[in-house]
Amino acid sequence: MSCEANRRQIVLMIYDELAEAERRELDRHVRGCDACADAVVEQRRLSLILERGAAIEPPADLLELCRADLRVGLETGGPVPSAARPADAAPAPGAARPGHRGRPWRPRLSLAWALALLAGGFLAGRTVPGGALLSLGGGRGTPPEGVATIANVDFQDSDEGSGRVRLTFDTLRRSALEGTASDPRIRGVLVDTLRDNLNAGLRLEAIDVLRRHADDLEVRRALLRAVREDANPGARLKALEALQERAGEDAEVRGAIVQALLRDTNPGVRVRAIDALQTARSPETLPVLKRLAERDPNDYVRLRSAALVSQMLPQGGER
């Protein structure tokens, strides 16, 4: 099926209007199509927005009447009776109505299908050729085989002592995991949350759980990226803390800390970077600390830098 056809199917899948075989086929397509994976996330966001609005309850028998009309039209190939017409006034199945002779058959869709088509048009309008819809996570890579796009991560519970966490999140359906970040599935959700989620509070919670697993390459890369790029200073600070123990043995970690010293606009983050260098002193850090001790606009940063410089220089050495 084409991406356009699959996007119509996505809307129906969200509202549980797909058969299981169709759902499985759509799932296989979404795993290999970044644009359609983002369309799933966007449609879930739209459905949540609609659910939070004021509820308008249709008559209890409206949906059944609409489905009956559609069934009659499909069986007879003729015009479909109006669901709004009283039962005793409806023409017999297959009978033509006044004013409709010779016109092409046009079925009257049920309310659920009409809403689905409306949402499908919304999604199609947001799509550009060769591009993709903006997802909640913001990630642009194609998910690997067997992995669906993750969105709407919530931390239901976490235990700082044991590192155990319980998460819920959306793929094609709402899912849940429970355990520690030693589980690659949980670790993967947390890394995606830290890397892509727009909610700073969720990124902070992800760092709290991942800090014990900085020896894992993907975790370490996500933490390094947070130090360099996260817009939230609290996230940058926590990521520095999580990486601090590796600063002495990992040149990339040490380089990220030095860059934070030179470039981070938040003085609290710069102070935390100074602390991270206490046990990771190297020749390239001394000139940086001297520069901070002389020129940093924050008094406390200058004071802490000067104190560390004095510890690193030989007794009586040049300051």
Domain ranges across the chain: 1-140, 151-312
Asked whether the whole model's pTM tops 0.85, one would answer: no
Selection from 276, 272, 194, 258 nearest residue 230 by Cα: 194
What is the bridge-based pairing of β-strands 151-159 and 164-170? antiparallel
Asked if the model's pLDDT at residue 211 lies above 50, the reply is yes
Q: In what order do the strands lie in the sheet with 151-159?
A: 151-159, 164-170, 174-180
Structure tokens at 314: 């030989």
Q: Which residue has the higher pLDDT, 130 or 193?
A: 193
d(CA 93, CA 255): 77
Asked if the model's pLDDT at residue 3 lies above 70, the reply is yes
Q: Which H, E and C letters describe 212-269, residue by residue?
A: HHCCCHHHHHHHHHHHHHCCCHHHHHHHHHHHHHHCCCCHHHHHHHHHHHHHCCCHHH
**Phi, psi of 151, rounded to the nearest 5 degrees:** -150, 165
What local confidence, expressed as pLDDT, does residue 40 receive?
Answer: 79
| Arithmetic mean of pLDDT, 19-27 | 82
Asked if the model's pLDDT at residue 56 lies above 70, the reply is no
**pLDDT band per the 50, 70, 90 thresholds, residue 163:** confident
What local confidence, expressed as pLDDT, does residue 41 receive?
Answer: 78
What local confidence, expressed as pLDDT, does residue 232 receive?
Answer: 94
**pLDDT band per the 50, 70, 90 thresholds, residue 60:** low
| Arithmetic mean of pLDDT, 149-162 | 75
On whether the CB atoms of residues 31 and 148 are closer than 8 A, the answer is yes
CATH among 1.10.287.3510, 3.90.1150.10, 1.25.10.10, 2.60.120.10 for 151-312: 1.25.10.10
Q: How many residues does the chain have?
A: 319
Highest mean pLDDT: which of 94-103, 164-173, 273-282, 294-303? 294-303
167-176 contact pairs (CB < 8 A, 24+): 170/41, 170/44, 171/40, 172/13, 172/23, 172/26, 172/27, 172/30, 172/40, 172/148
Q: What is the pLDDT of residues 257-295, one digit of tens each?
A: 989 988 999 999 999 998 888 877 777 788 888 888 899
